[in-house]
Amino acid sequence: MTAGDLEGTLQENFNIQLRDSIIPAVESTYSTYLDCDGKIENVTPEKIAASRDHRAIGGFSGGATVTAMMAVYGIDMFSYFGVNSNSWDPDLLTQGVNLEANKNYDIKYYMNTLGTEEGPDREVWVDMYKQIEAKGAPKLVDGTNMTFIRFIGLDHDIVNIRTSLYNA
């Protein structure tokens, strides 16, 4: 599976709704860094991309998987990503951030947290930062703009969420 295989999925539909409806509604209603004079019709893809350094996305479990996918399909909308307890394939993340369409967008910060008691399927994440660096994702550099934290004794629950948010 490659990052391109995700096209046409619910993820793509979410990205369309986020880009075409949710971000324009927020940006035109609240005081933000996107200059639109409070008019939704003035929120353009170019303005969304220009203000992306002031926008973050985060999620837990399934929401974290969506957040990780946004580093591929929404990198023109967000610069900061908070991923808590997901099991998305590091190969897809590496391929995605290296897509030609994403070449002009950097990642300011990518944080992934995980509890040690979340299950054996989570073992792929233990050294994920090493896997990403080994596969050649220069946009993600451990200790510079990428952090992976494994919380000892935490499970897939609210305590994990609170601990991750506090340490973010």
Q: What is the pLDDT of residue 52?
A: 94
Q: Helices 128-135 and 90-97 meet at what angle, rounded to 10?
A: 40
Helical segments of 51-149, H only:
62-73, 90-97, 128-135
- pLDDT tens digits, one per residue of 111-145: 888 888 886 655 666 666 677 777 777 778 888 88
Residue with tokens 């994920």: 128
- pLDDT tens digits, one per residue of 52-103: 999 999 999 888 888 888 888 889 999 999 988 876 677 777 778 888 888 8
In order, the DSSP letters of 29-71 are HS--SS--TT-GGG--HHHHHHTGGG-EEEEETHHHHHHHHHH
d(CA 100, CA 108) in angstroms, rounded, equals 18
- Give the largest CA-CA distance in the chain: 50
